Amino acid sequence: MGELKPFINIGPGIVIKDELEALGWSQDDLARIMGMSLKAVNEILNDKVAITVETARLLGKAFGTSAEIWINLDTAYRLRLREDTEREREAERYAAVMKYMPVREMVKKGWLETYNSSSELLEKAKNFWNVSEPDFSFLGKAKEPCFRRSDAYEFYEKYYALTWTQKAKDTASSIHLPEWDRTAAKKIGAKLGNFSRLENGTSTFIQDLEVAGIGFFVLSHLQKTYLDGAAIFVGANPFIVYTGRFDRCDNFWFTVAHELAHLVLGHVKKDGQEILDDLKQEAGNDQEKAADKLAETYLHTVEILEFCAPFKKYLSRERIERCAETVGVSPGIVVGTLQYAGILPYKNLNNYKRPILTALPASCIKG
């Protein structure tokens, strides 16, 4: 993590001596040219004194160079001469952690304990990443999770996405589940619309996931990650993670349907790469398109659009509820589907898109 220092610390004096030799000048010649004493020139050539702005300008005139060359050479030489102070080392350690982790946000969420010094923070960061050395440069080389995101998100931060993924994996590692059963997962997908209609549908859905060997929990998103959910494997079991970025029932069911589709389709495997999703964006690769298509069958998207097609301009509450009853999903899913398809304005009928986090079992909320 520390800065590499050269084996030989070359100062400006050596460079000046080389220039004198090339020109066939003596130190006395240079002293006369610059209007300085021979002693003063000798001190400069032996790097005993720092080069001032005036001296740098005189050297520039003598050798036909810029003054900046001599200022920069001398500054670099003198910086390398001295060892880092403890204050400087602490600043370096602090900056290294802050570069890779949204520390303030993590402390606020309880993902990191409060700290009183950079040394304390460094130890907490090492524990978070399960590393023994205070060097986080490995994150710069880490393979980024498969992430469905828009190029418009210029503020997306790869390291924060890696941090969120690490926290998700750590959380999942403490959850014990029965053997993963893909056939049972397929059956859950087929019943997803009905779960959304039941009063305790979210709890029943989560219980069925657990029986199928699929973990579920809520882990709030970090700034600059734009996450709705993720599908990951930890040990022998897959997990669906929901962020609650948009605390609405339609967002919840769309997200879990999409992540469940990734698992059923085998997109996430043991020891494989995680999939993180921002479902506001269009699907990019073939895996995302396939997961979207399967999720649409789970939530009866085609049936909803076909039912509502004759009433595009007259989508009353009564018709929304009749569509939900006929198709077999909650009214919130009907409204969210129509809004996403551009058939219903986003400002209309939003009372059907109820908050979801308060409807989830408290044990599922992990931070």
Mode of pairing for the β-strands spanning 275-277 and 215-218: unpaired
Backbone angles phi, psi at 230, to 5 degrees: -155, 155
The first and second tokens of residue 110, run together, are: 């309880």
Question: What backbone phi and psi angles, to 5 degrees, belong to 150?
Answer: -90, 145
Confidence of residue 148 (pLDDT cuts 50, 70, 90): low
Task: Read off the pTM.
Answer: 0.77
Pairing of the two strands 229-234 and 275-277: antiparallel
Length of the chain: 367
Give me the phi and psi of 343, to 5 degrees please.
-85, -35
| Rounded (5°) CA angle 262-164-182 | 25
| 152 has a pLDDT exceeding 60 | no
> Which residues make beta-bridge pairs with 148?
277
Identify the weakest region by mean pLDDT among 309-313, 331-335, 359-363.
309-313
Q: What is the mean pLDDT of residues 321-332?
A: 96
Contact 161, 145 (CB under 8 A): yes
Sorting pLDDT into bands at 50, 70 and 90, what band is 2?
very low
Whether the pLDDT of residue 1 is over 70: the answer is no
- Phi/psi-derived region of residue 159, left when phi > 0, alpha when psi is between -120 and 50, beta in every other case: alpha
User: 275-277 and 146-148 as β-strands: parallel, antiparallel, unpaired?
Assistant: parallel
- Tell me the average pLDDT across 157-165: 91
